Amino acid sequence: MTEQVKPQEKEKMTIVVFSGELDKAIAAFIIATTGASMGMDVTMFFTFWGLNILKKNEGGMKSKGFKRKMFSILNRGGSKRLKLSRFNMFGLGTWMMKMVMKDSHYPSIDEFITMSKDMGIKLIPCSTTCGMFGLTENSFRGGVEGIAGAAFFVNEARQAKVTLFI
Amino acid sequence: MTEQVKPQEKEKMTIVVFSGELDKAIAAFIIATTGASMGMDVTMFFTFWGLNILKKNEGGMKSKGFKRKMFSILNRGGSKRLKLSRFNMFGLGTWMMKMVMKDSHYPSIDEFITMSKDMGIKLIPCSTTCGMFGLTENSFRGGVEGIAGAAFFVNEARQAKVTLFI
Amino acid sequence: MTEQVKPQEKEKMTIVVFSGELDKAIAAFIIATTGASMGMDVTMFFTFWGLNILKKNEGGMKSKGFKRKMFSILNRGGSKRLKLSRFNMFGLGTWMMKMVMKDSHYPSIDEFITMSKDMGIKLIPCSTTCGMFGLTENSFRGGVEGIAGAAFFVNEARQAKVTLFI
């Protein structure tokens, strides 16, 4: 942490992704990929329900302990299980949203994750909430960075030009 | 990116208004108008459900395509149709909140929008989500600026002293 | 506002706590206490439903006027009444979350508030929303700072390295 800011150093953007809803995930990825395409160094820090976005779509429910196991059945996660924060209507609204996005050639969440990795965006699960929910690095899809704690986030955020909590 | 800050240049505030709920809209406008009254140069960037705040209260449901048309019936919008994020209770809580605000002489959303424009706050709909929802500049009330993309927001945010995602 | 940053001056973090849900409150306190432990000068500004976090658990429902009284029955508040934003399931999910946190030796909200005060974090209720909801300084638990308006928040935020809206 010498932090000698060299003139050619990239401006940073840090996004906390707290929410695990489809619409908020799309907003987070649009802003992150836009930032990266404009030359910013982007870090996305996934915590609480946001961890669901990075969970494997298959398996990955091996939380330890009875209470955590119960909770992980409810809070299954995976990019394909995200729902809209409004108008979900037992899945109908979410399905309509996905159709509209597909028709308009917007990327899906899986495509956004691949794009993000290709653009050098760092996708980091929060170790504190991983601990709460009984998740390990193995719970997440490939390409996700190692888990890191809140101190890592705060350190990124205080160097960043743009910090958002989504 | 020469960014030589001249002494007379105003400090910037940028607010992403993602949520279309009455309480979050009030919070966003209180912060925005406070910033403007303190001499800041404020931009509000409306995206996803936040677009509903700026939609015309009458008409404006002419989205193209069947799926978008269905979605726009659900997601009607307009400043008079916003609901509380909590305790809506089929409109009762929202109605009580509006009454309390009126009794205490707080501005309504329509009044906040007028105040904002009078104070030089820029109200900008996000072009990406306008595209998703089939909205055009014609869907919004008068006084709204032209629509702009995520790159516009990121560029504002990285110059801003204060950036919020609401 | 001369703002001559002296080298020994602490970096600031400002958090608007708009939400009154258990999970968002935990996230806010984790970030705030982490910032303080890293030497930052942290201010938490509680507004709307976030005020519930600081309300006394007993009494404190003496809002003036019939409509406000009705609303304060619904919107009771107190650190022990906070619910999860997802999977509350009539209290079952919230109870499971609290159990998991206890088992893993995470602090409760009451413990987080005590820790925050011990670390010098300022907990400030927003005067504008206190006015709306008919709350006074007497509605809040001990240790809370005097109430302050949106101008106070904006002034903190524009000096802060990190500002979040939660």
Which of C100, C163, C165 is the closest to A67 by Cβ?
C100
What is the average pLDDT across A119-132?
93
Give the C-alpha separation, B37 to B47, whole Å.
Answer: 24
Which of A18, A131, A158 is the closest to C11 by Cβ?
A158
Most confident of B72-76, B82-86, C33-37: C33-37
C91 neighbourhood in chain A, CB within 8 Å: none
Strands lying side by side in the sheet with A41-46: A122-125, A41-46, A12-17, A162-165
Q: How far is C165 from chain B (nearest CA, A)?
A: 6
Q: What is the pLDDT of residue C64?
A: 67
Q: Which residues between 100 and 139 in chain A have a beta carbon less than 8 angstroms from any beta carbon of chain B? A: 100-101, 103-104, 106
Q: What is the pLDDT of residue A36?
A: 98
φ/ψ bin of B87: left (φ > 0), alpha (ψ from -120 to 50), beta (otherwise): left
Is B65 or B134 the better-scoring residue by pLDDT? B134
**What's the mean pLDDT when you consider all of chain A?**
86
pLDDT at A4 over 70: no
E runs forming strands in chain B: 12-17, 41-46, 122-125, 162-165
Q: Looking at A22-31, A94-103, B123-132, which range is the least confident one?
A: A94-103
What is the average pLDDT across B65-76?
73
CB contact under 8 A, C18 and B27: yes
CB contact under 8 A, C27 and A49: no
Tell me the pLDDT band of A39, cut-offs 50, 70 and 90. very high
Q: What is the pLDDT of residue A89?
A: 67
pLDDT at B17 over 90: yes
Q: What is the pLDDT of residue C52?
A: 92
Q: What is the pLDDT of residue B147?
A: 93
Tell me the pLDDT band of A62, cut-offs 50, 70 and 90. low
In this complex, the chains that touch C, judged by 3 or more CB pairs closer than 8 A, are: A, B
In this complex, the chains that touch B, judged by 3 or more CB pairs closer than 8 A, are: A, C
CB contact under 8 A, C162 and A163: yes
* C158 and B42 Cβ atoms separated by less than 8 Å: no
What is the average pLDDT across C48-74?
76
CB contact under 8 A, A100 and B67: yes
Cβ neighbours of residue A65 closer than 8 Å, sequence gap 6 or more: A134, C100, C103
Nearest-CA residue of chain B relative to A97? B71
Q: What is the pLDDT of residue C7?
A: 55
Most confident of B93-97, C121-125, C143-147: C121-125
Tell me the pLDDT band of B5, cut-offs 50, 70 and 90. low
**What's the mean pLDDT when you consider all of chain C?**
86
Q: What is the pLDDT of residue A101?
A: 80
Give the C-alpha separation, C45 to C50, whole Å.
Answer: 9
Tell me the pLDDT band of A41, cut-offs 50, 70 and 90. very high
Tell me the pLDDT band of C37, cut-offs 50, 70 and 90. very high
Q: What is the pLDDT of residue C76?
A: 77
B27 neighbourhood in chain C, CB within 8 Å: 16, 18, 47-48
* A17 and A103 Cβ atoms separated by less than 8 Å: no
pLDDT at A3 over 70: no
What is the average pLDDT across A103-108?
84
pLDDT at B81 over 90: no
CB contact under 8 A, C155 and B101: no
Q: What is the pLDDT of residue C51?
A: 94
Phi then psi dihedrals of residue B37, to 5 deg: -70, -20
CB distance from C40 to chain A under 8 Å?
yes
Most confident of A71-75, C26-30, C61-65, C144-148: C26-30
CB contact under 8 A, C30 and A128: yes
Tell me the pLDDT band of C4, cut-offs 50, 70 and 90. low
Q: How far is A83 from chain C (nearest CA, A)?
A: 12
CB contact under 8 A, A87 and B74: yes
Question: Using one digit for the tens of pLDDT, what is the confidence trace for B19-42?
Answer: 999 999 999 999 999 999 999 999
Is C92 or A44 the better-scoring residue by pLDDT? A44
Q: What is the 8-class DSSP label of residue C125?
A: E
Give the C-alpha separation, B46 to B123, whole Å.
Answer: 7
* A120 and A36 Cβ atoms separated by less than 8 Å: yes
The three-class DSSP label of residue B55 is strand
Is B9 or A73 the better-scoring residue by pLDDT? B9
CB distance from A45 to chain C under 8 Å?
no
Chain C contact probe: residue of B21, B23, B24, B30 with most C CBs at under 10 A:
B30
Is C87 or B152 the better-scoring residue by pLDDT? B152
What share of chain A has pLDDT > 70, as a percent? 89
Q: What is the pLDDT of residue C61?
A: 54
Is C66 or B129 the better-scoring residue by pLDDT? B129
Which of C47, C150, C158 is the closest to B161 by Cβ?
C158
pTM of the model: 0.88
C85 neighbourhood in chain A, CB within 8 Å: 49
C23 neighbourhood in chain A, CB within 8 Å: 48-49
CB contact under 8 A, B96 and C70: yes
CB distance from A18 to chain C under 8 Å?
yes
Tell me the C-alpha to C-alpha distance, in Å, between residue B157 and each of A43, A154, B76, B145, C6. Answer: 16, 18, 29, 17, 26
Q: What is the pLDDT of residue B63?
A: 63
Q: What is the pLDDT of residue C79?
A: 82
Q: What is the pLDDT of residue C19?
A: 93
Q: What is the pLDDT of residue B160?
A: 97
Question: What's chain C's length in residues?
Answer: 166
pLDDT at B117 over 80: yes
Give the C-alpha separation, C134 to B97, whole Å.
Answer: 12
What is the average pLDDT across A58-67?
64
Question: Using one digit for the tens of pLDDT, what is the confidence trace for C84-143?
Answer: 887 776 677 787 778 778 887 889 999 999 999 999 999 999 999 998 888 888 899 888
pLDDT at B67 over 90: no
Give the C-alpha separation, B119 to B99, whole Å.
Answer: 26
